[in-house]
Structure 1
Amino acid sequence: MKKIGFLSFGHWTPHPTSATRSAADALLQSIELAEAAEELGADGAYFRVHHFARQLASPFPLLAAVGARTSRIEIGTGVIDMRYENPLSMAEDAGAADLISGGRLQLGISRGSPEQVVEGYRYFGHEPAPTDDGGAEMARAHTARFLEVLQGEGFAEPSPRPMFPNPPGLLRVEPHSEGLRRRIWWGAGSRATAEWTAAQGMNLMSSTLLTEDTGVPFHRLQAEQIQRFRDAWAAAGHDFTPRVSVSRSIFPLTDDRDRRWFGSEVDSQDQVGHLDTGVARFGRTYAGEPDQLVEDLRADEAVQAADTLLLTVPNQLGVEYNAHVIENVLVHVAPALGWR
């Protein structure tokens, strides 16, 4: 059975046409939309992380708040840029948020996307090696340490004169949340990175773009990425079944608001452009009458191959309208795609 959730970038703009005009609006409306999505029966609330931007940034206070205000849906990120993270403090924050939510955290992490500032991770105190162009090696090193700490093994020598009594042996980062290690996802932008993701024992999170182009439609290239991930996972011999998510912009046109905002996207097609000086293929937006969307999405090989579908939402149109979009997909489209 396919899971369906939403993914919000959490944009905010101090402009009269935006329903999300401040950072406080973006945060509070994110919580409200997660509550609304749970009431509608959606499976997940996921949030993008961007630094130095008028978007959601520090994810763990938001994830903890959503966890405290909901009871069923998965709560996640898509994705946290690991170039900016201290692995040990991140493990503490993630453990706390996961415990508050009752074990519903699904953390998407990656090397990150193009930044708002030049080498922003340096302002956060992280210095990559001189040979590490763009910080990709540093991101993977931070990730390796983060995954290691999430295992829950002790590694820190206890003080001989602690303030409070210690348990025996080396100490681990607390709070530790059992099982969180298996709920870490890597946002892979290529087929090769998907294979690396499988080797590390992380779930695969694939977006609406890939940082390569072979001339085939986006959904077919992404389906190949998914298959390579699963083949590499089987070869690695991990002892649990991985998950795979893809993101899509899907807008059933059921009323005048939908047609006003997204009617122009009916004929949307893949696009090929440049990202970080490399070629990238961007997937289309799906907008149209519900029956046509069902037909189009059934032909989307990556949507069919994934077990989790994340709906990218236009958060600046407000909580009520975004809940309407999610409900439209769940009612008119999702059952035909394998959703319960």
Structure 2
Amino acid sequence: MKNIGFLSFGHWSPSPQSGTRSAGDALLQSIDLAVAAEELGADGAYFRVHHFARQLASPFPLLAAAGAKTKKIELGTAVIDMRYENPLYMAEDAGAADLIAGGRLQLGISRGSPEQVIDGYRYFGYAPAEGQTDADMARSQTEVLLEVLKGNGFAQPNPRPMFPNPPGMLRLEPHSEGLVDRIWWGAATDATAVWAAKLGMNLQSSTLKFDESGKPFHIQQAEQIRAYRAAWKEAGHTRTPRVSVSRSIFALVNDMDRAYFGTGRSEEDQFGYIEPEKRAVFGRGYTAEPEQLIKLLAADEAIAEADTLLLTVPNQLGVDYNAHVIESILKHVAPALGWR
């Protein structure tokens, strides 16, 4: 059995061919797709965060709005770039959105991906300390976030406050109990997956990771997941961690599917460089008739290791078509693989 959700980058473009021609379209349709996915029986609605791009960027208003419109579906991110975040302000926003959603947030965070602008986090007022890299900064911001989400008091109260204070040191409000256990780290390497396990975060592994062995993507990703679980066990955490993987999966069940995605091109892993001297592997997509798709997905070791599968969706094709993409997997593929 697997949790199955969708992951949207929330692209928008003024092009006549786009179903999302403005930021407002992308946001409102994201909410509508979360509602539709819940009605279809999907388990999660997740959104990517990119700054300085025509994509979703400010997740908490979106998550709060989707939380108010839905009842059961998990609402999450994959991922928020912690280089851009004030962890205390983020904890307040996340706490509020989680309370509105009734405790359904699943927040994926990370060091982030290559950016639209050079050192974009500096425009937000953040810079690595002396001797730090931007990745170090993201991890230190994350450690602060995890600490304040525990809900312990840490701030000295004013002896003459505007409003009465509870006794002792003060914590951030609103506090949402249990949210600290629903933080996920998007790991691009085995080492950061192990680091996340030690801190008690769940693991998100996307369609890209740094190439650490030259093996096929799904095998490297499965090895990363196993290293993460071993580190989790060694750390002595008492709860069971969650692990998600993302995939582009399209079941060709009608003529529209075949027109959009039935190109007949071979789908293979791609190796390349996303940063100087850092070779990465991009995982293949899966596009086929349901019977063939079932066979292909059964051989994906990382999907087998994960408890959660996020389907990347082409959001610019509109809510109705994306709901169809999700429904096709839930109806024609998932039951045969034992996911449903």
> Under TM normalisation by the shorter chain, which class is it?
over 0.9
Please tell me whether the aligned partners of residues 251 and 287 of structure 1 are also in contact (alpha carbons under 8 angstroms): yes
Alignment of 1:51-62 (within 5 A): 51-62=51-62
SS in 1 for 2:262: helix
Q: Which residue of 2 aligns with 1:14?
A: 14
SS in 2 for 1:123: helix
Alignment of 1:1-340 (within 5 A): 1-133=1-133, 135-264=134-263, 267-277=266-276, 278-340=278-340
Deviations 1:248-280 (A, max 9, x none): 000000111111111126521111011122100
Residues 275, 292 of structure 1: alpha-carbon distance in 2 compared, 3 angstrom cutoff: same
| Mapped partners of 2:229, 2:268: distance in 1 | 28
SS in 2 for 1:89: helix
Cα drift, residue 52 of structure 1 = 0.5
Please tell me whether the aligned partners of residues 266 and 288 of structure 1 are also in contact (alpha carbons under 8 angstroms): no
- The runs of at least 4 consecutive aligned structure 1 residues that moved more than 6 Å come to none
What code does the residue aligned with 2:171 have? Answer: R
What code does the residue aligned with 1:151 have? Answer: K
- Listed as ranges, the gaps of 5+ residues in structure 2 are none
Q: Comparing 225-234 with 259-268, which one deviates more in the overlay?
A: 259-268
| Mapped partners of 2:159, 2:264: distance in 1 | 65
- Listed as ranges, the gaps of 5+ residues in structure 1 are none
Please tell me whether the aligned partners of residues 7 and 313 of structure 1 are also in contact (alpha carbons under 8 angstroms): yes
Please, what TM-score do these two structures have when normalized by structure 2?
0.98
Cα drift, residue 213 of structure 1 = 4.1
SS in 1 for 2:263: helix
| Mapped partners of 2:128, 2:292: distance in 1 | 48
Aligned residues: percent identity?
71
| Mapped partners of 1:250, 1:269: distance in 2 | 13
| Mapped partners of 2:70, 2:101: distance in 1 | 8
| Mapped partners of 2:338, 2:224: distance in 1 | 21
Deviations 1:118-172 (A, max 9, x none): 1010110111124333x11110110000000000000001111111110000000
SS in 1 for 2:93: helix
SS in 2 for 1:78: strand
| Mapped partners of 1:294, 1:246: distance in 2 | 17
Cα drift, residue 339 of structure 1 = 2.3
What code does the residue aligned with 2:37 have? Answer: A
| Mapped partners of 2:65, 2:267: distance in 1 | 36
Deviations 1:160-195 (A, max 9, x none): 111111000000000000000000000000111111
Please, what TM-score do these two structures have when normalized by structure 1?
0.98
| Mapped partners of 1:143, 1:265: distance in 2 | 43
| Mapped partners of 2:61, 2:157: distance in 1 | 29
